[in-house]
Amino acid sequence: MHTCNSSKTPRIIGLTGGIGSGKTTVCKLLAQHGFPIIDADEIARQIVAPGSPGLQSVIRLFGQQYLQKDGHLNRTKLRDYIFNDPQQKDRLESLLHPLIRQQILKEIQFYREKENEQACPKWVFVAIPLLIESIHDGQKPDYLDEIWVVDSSEEDQMRRASKRDGQSTEQIKKIMNQQASRKQRLQWADRVIHNHGDLKNLQDQISTLLENA
């Protein structure tokens, strides 16, 4: 692990990629190398956990029909509702994005404070599946130093995601069409992790990248 001193702070890396590109797999490998991962999807779930202020705000905005009897948000129903309605999607995102950002900043701060300790991470990764889609002003989020993109061919994305989720390639294709294109994502990439081979290839690539970066 990288040793910190007062002039060094961890670099904060946004890790992104399309559906089925291999982000989760890459995050696991980075974690095995000892790097902290902040998971924006996990945070997005936490902020609408049963009883949370985030959940109360969502229900206030969209209605009681999205609250399950067990106190959980009915995410599938809400996702279906906003899927084809950009205006409702914007309403939900305007509510949730600031809460997600706040929590990401809190977790980054936690790792920054390790500066005072003997060992601290050289990089902290923030896995944000829809990072590129959330950029509206031509600027990456100000808390990120770099963006690393996990890149796969569309054929690989469809094959892997449909095998994992049991969804048809048409369903995966529909989701892909709502996401940024490969080209758009790559335009933001400070580094690209090419996930075109097998897992061994990916492992080797990560090891080399971490040694040389």
Binding site for ligand ATP (CB under 6 A): 17, 19-25, 129, 160-161, 164, 195, 198-199, 202
User: 77 or 196, CB closer to ligand ATP?
Assistant: 196
Q: Closer to ligand ATP at the Cβ: 7 or 76?
A: 76
Quick one: 49 or 199, whose CB is closer to ligand ATP?
Answer: 199
The rounded distance, in Å, linking the Cα atoms of 59 and 138 is 32
- Cα separation, 26 vs 15, in Å, equals 9
Q: Compute the distance between CA of residue 169 and CA of residue 124 in angstroms, rounded to an integer.
A: 34
CA angle, residues 88, 92, 95, in degrees to nearest 5: 140
Cβ proximity to ligand ATP, 9 vs 152, nearer residue = 152
Nearer to ligand ATP, 137 or 198 (CB): 198
Query: How many CB atoms neighbour CB 21 within 10 A?
Result: 26
Distance CA 54, CA 65 (A): 16
**Least distance from ligand ATP to the Cβ atom of residue 31, Å:** 13
**CB of 106 vs ligand ATP, minimal distance in Å:** 23
The distance of closest approach from Cβ of residue 115 to ligand ATP in the complex, given in angstroms and rounded to an integer, is 30
The answer to whether residues 198 and 155 touch, using CB atoms and an 8 Å cutoff, is: no
Least gap, CB of 4 to ligand ATP (angstroms) = 29
Cβ atoms of 18 and 179 within 8 Å: the answer is yes
In the complex, least distance from residue 149 CB atom to ligand ATP, rounded to whole angstroms: 11
Please report which helix (H) or strand (E) contains residue 29, including its range: helix 23-32
